[in-house]
Structure 1
């Protein structure tokens, strides 16, 4: 018995499980990489539907107007954690302030999203995570694509009615 996995098996495992039609989805950088190109100035909400960034996945996370653009503390992603950054993430996202989409009435504010189990403190120990969580007992959960499990795309705190999606970690339908 060999320990190697055939390349075609790896490709099949990495392929999206969804067969939904995918609209022309663009990354943050392809969509203009600015607040002006993605935000309705009167409502501060998303101008376009938000999708999973994985090629081949047609999972819609949010409809147009369902999330509010917020500038705040850098995301709660521990890059040493168990997830790989999504393929559309730019390397410029590691600053102390970043933009994200805030979703109220989570988890019901989403069209489709998955949530991880509580992230153990031993994994969620980056400085940004600890600062955001503070000394409270709430646990961090990552948001993932409900169809293909790509993540983390965002985060929420256990029991919270708000969730955040990283603007650079999702795709945008510009049609």
Structure 2
């Protein structure tokens, strides 16, 4: 499924700011990530404390993501404790998540699921 064309610029980057669905904190500024499709499993959205100890979480496999290659490109992001070789991305302000996924073996790939954020 292709995302709404108003979200992706001609060059493939995000044309709007990416915000937390819950508190509207800015996660990414326009032009700071590129659209990609990759199947990734994300646990159901909840507070960071509930994510940390859950080894068999309920969730969904999502395919549409913003790919960020440098963690310093984020305006506002938090990380869960390691879950295997994965850290989940959460909103640093309200700690809801996961809104994304990062494999510790790949230092330059941070994925933010389009379905877990809003755009303005």
Compute the TM-score of the two structures, normalised by the length of structure 2.
0.78
- Which of 1 and 2 has greater Rg? 1
Does residue 53 in structure 1 map to residue 21 in structure 2? Answer: yes
Name structure 1 gaps, 5 residues minimum: 1-32, 84-92, 121-138
**Greater displacement, 152-161 / 162-171:** 152-161
What does residue 31 of structure 2 align with? Answer: 65
Q: Please state how far the C-alpha of 1:47 moved relative to its aligned partner.
A: 0.8
Deviations 1:19-66 (A, max 9, x none): xxxxxxxxxxxxxx834121002x100010001000xx2410000000
- Aligned-residue Cα RMSD (Å) equals 2.3
Greater strand content: 2
Count of matched residue pairs:
107
Runs of 4+ aligned residues of structure 1 deviating over 6 Å after TM superposition are none
What does residue 100 of structure 1 align with? Answer: 65
CA distance in 2, matches of 1:147, 1:170: 14
Compute the TM-score of the two structures, normalised by the length of structure 1.
0.55
